[in-house]
Amino acid sequence: MTTTQAPDLLAQEFVAFAVEAGVLRFGEFKTKAGRLSPYFFNAGLFDDGAKLGRLAQFYAQRLVASGLQFDMIFGPAYKGITLAAALSIELARLGHNKPFAYNRKEAKDHGEGGTLVGAPVQGRVLIIDDVISAGTSVRESIALIKAAGATPCGVSIALDRQEKAVENGVESAKSAVQYVTEQLQMPVVAIAGLADLLAYLHSTSNPAVTAYAGAVQAYRDRYGV
């Protein structure tokens, strides 16, 4: 007897929201790995107060439900800066006030100086970003956090593409998220994944979106993990 896993309602709500906001788009897009993807997720398009606030709610709900314990939030430049601030505001609204910090791409040689901005980086630090493509940003963040004497304790992302990573032109058997989880020993909490996107495509009544279900499934069959 086979059992069907119930859909993740939070993930389904998030995918629907991302599509409606124009952040999750369908067509033909070239990824960093050089693949032609039938979908593209651009968190930079959560570009007004309403959309950013709703996004922060999804991050916060997923994190609270995960049970992951952390003392502060770190947002890697550049997208992570906005995400860290938004998540901090939403968590405070929910009664979990957490400080946040972020890094500059280049060190500042005047004023307070240095590369880190915001609250002192200390305790258990959660890294927040939109996606994990190759794990480079996560590794850099871990190095900065450890150099400050703190402990990186997990990563929160919006979308897990659940596809084989490519490093130095070589395709891996594992995804970037699996690499972070297994090699860097860091739990990754994603709001939704490619499997959730496929479930949405098969359940929505929007014909303009369901038309891409076959292409997304074929992409997952070819590159998925």
pLDDT band for position 108 (50/70/90)? low
In 3D space, the residue among 61, 110, 111, 117 whose CA is nearest the CA of residue 85 turns out to be 117
The active-site residue out of 110, 146, 164, 174 is 110
| pTM (two decimals) | 0.91
Annotated catalytic residue 110: yes
Asked whether the predicted pLDDT for residue 99 surpasses 50, the reply is: yes
Asked whether the predicted pLDDT for residue 167 surpasses 90, the reply is: no
56-71: per-residue pLDDT in tens? Answer: 999 999 999 999 999 9
| AA letter at 200 | Y
Asked whether the predicted pLDDT for residue 168 surpasses 70, the reply is: yes
Find out whether 40 and 27 touch, Cβ atoms under 8 Å. yes
- Mean pLDDT throughout 157-169? 89
Whether the link from the prior residue into 179 is cis, omega within 30° of 0, is: no
**Higher-pLDDT residue of 167, 201:** 201
φ, ψ of residue 200 to 5 degrees: the values are: -65, -45
pLDDT band for position 52 (50/70/90)? very high
Taken in order 106, 111, 114, 120, is the CA torsion positive or negative?
A: negative
Residue the block writes with tokens 């499934």: 217
Residue 191 CB contacts under 8 Å (≥ 6 apart), including other chains: 10, 11, 14, 58, 59, 62, 157, 158, 159
Q: Which two tokens stand for residue 216?
A: 């997304």
Asked whether the predicted pLDDT for residue 112 surpasses 90, the reply is: no
Domains of the chain plus CATH, in order, are: 9-223 (3.40.50.2020)
Asked whether the predicted pLDDT for residue 5 surpasses 70, the reply is: no
Find out whether 119 and 100 touch, Cβ atoms under 8 Å. yes
- Mean pLDDT throughout 86-115? 84
7-28: per-residue pLDDT in tens? Answer: 799 999 999 999 999 999 999 9
Residue 103 to residue 86: CA distance in whole angstroms: 16
Q: Give the pLDDT of residue 4.
A: 47
- Mean pLDDT throughout 203-209? 90
φ, ψ of residue 91 to 5 degrees: the values are: -65, -40
Instruction: State the alpha helices, DSSP H only, in 9-168.
Output: 9-20, 49-66, 79-93, 136-147
Annotated catalytic residue 108: yes
* Lowest mean pLDDT across 83-92, 101-110, 114-123, 145-154: 101-110
The active-site residue out of 32, 51, 105, 108 is 108
